[in-house]
Amino acid sequence: MGIFDFLSGEFIDVIHWTDDSRDTMVWRFEREGHEIKYGAKLTVREGQAAVFVHEGQIADVFTPGLYMLETNNMPVLTTLQHWDHGFKSPFKSEIYYVNTTRFNDLKWGTKNPIMLRDPEFGPTRLRAYGTYSVRVSDPAKFLIEIVGTDGEFTMDEISFQIRNIIVQEFSRVIAASGIPVLDMAANTADLGKLVAAQISGTLEDYGLSMPELYIENISLPPAVEEALDKRTSMGLAGDLGKFTQYSAAEAMTAAARNPSGGGGMGAGLGIGLGMAAAGQMAQPGPWGARPAQTAPAAPPPPPVEHVWHIAENGETRGPYSKADLGRMTTEGGLTRQTYVWTPGQDGWMRAEDVAELAQLFTILPPPPPPAA
């Protein structure tokens, strides 16, 4: 090896990384033979972390700043310190740059419908999708658990796993929330925070965190949505009779504005619609000339069954139904002079003075015939 080769190999290294790919999470600084020279300058920019790996083990994690790799505390052994090896150190070191900024606008969604029991619709299925953001919170753990020795690790390599975690926790949270499907749109923000909180424990094991998770849409099966649309349309129509009258009047007005547009057909259509509208006007409604016909009267509510109390010898007994008092009258336990009271009555009254009970004493059977 010539003297110029030796000198060029011992020049101070400048270690840094700039990235414009928008999806690279980890990048390994490449050096021939993975030899980091003594006195090298390590630049770590904002939004980055540098993980120093020496002899296959993580030695240190550098936060943003400028570092000189020359102190004795650093596990850096350079060729200048090992003359006996001919300027070639047997100790290999690597530096992995980790992107610690947020990776935003990442998509997630349910691959298959989620089965749940809705308080209003009963068993039903729904789908959901949205976006989330993720960032590396522990570079060393992320390197150990996920990246390994990958020299260039991108977000696409872990996004599928994160989506599976989101869908699993979303399904569990939705099924246990008890929120009706029709009210979920008003609670998507709270549901997103709840799902993100449930996922945080799993992501911490990967060295990741999820600052945000958004639920953009929660949808029902097409058949259920069609039924809801019909129900909504009926609600908007309101009174079908009035809606029909209004539609007929609008059609008649449109035909009158263009009497020659359809020739005789247009005129006939206008006359037909006018007759239909007139027929509708003759029916009960705001345009009707005749008094509105009332619907059949509903039957009156059943009479209220009173319960009665009896006062005898300074004591009260009861409550008794009217049927009970009828039997007591037959057996002699209730007479005209017996004091009775029922809720709503103004004080105690004799039974013969209560209109409802007086009839019990007027329908007594005659005395039995004498014995033969």
Burial annotation 285-308 (CB, 10 A radius, 16+ → b, else e)? eeeeeeeeeeeeeeeeeeeeebeb
pLDDT for 251-279, tens place per residue?
777 777 765 554 444 544 455 545 554 55
So what's the pLDDT on residue 27?
93
Q: Does CATH number 3.30.1490 belong to domain 308-361? A: yes
Q: Is pLDDT above 90 for 133?
A: yes
| Structure confidence by residue, pLDDT tens digits, 66-76 | 988 765 445 44
User: pTM for this one?
Assistant: 0.55
pLDDT in tens, 273-329: 455 545 554 455 544 445 555 667 777 776 667 888 888 888 888 888 888 888 888
User: For the segment 326-351, what is each residue's pLDDT rounded down to a tens digit?
Assistant: 888 888 788 888 898 888 788 888 88
| Backbone phi, psi, residue 134, to 5° | -140, 155
Domain positions in the chain are 3-99, 103-220, 230-258, 308-361
Residue 144 has pLDDT above 50, yes or no: yes
Spatial neighbors of 117 by CB under 8 A, at least 6 apart, are 123, 124, 175
Q: Under CATH, which architecture does the 103-220 domain have?
A: 2-Layer Sandwich (3.30)
Q: For residue 70, what pLDDT is reported?
A: 64
- Of residues 81 and 259, more confidently modeled: 259
Band (pLDDT 50/70/90 cuts) for residue 90 is very low
- Quick one: average pLDDT of 168-176? 88
State the CB neighbour count (10 A cutoff) for residue 235: 8
Residue 3 has pLDDT above 50, yes or no: no
Round to whole Å and give the CA distance between 308 and 342.
Answer: 5
DSSP state at residue 139? H
- Long-range contact set of residues 166-172: C-beta below 8 Å, sequence gap at least 24: 166/108, 166/132, 166/195, 166/199, 166/213, 167/108, 167/109, 167/110, 167/111, 169/195, 169/198, 169/199, 170/110, 170/114, 170/128, 170/195, 170/215, 171/110, 171/114, 172/198
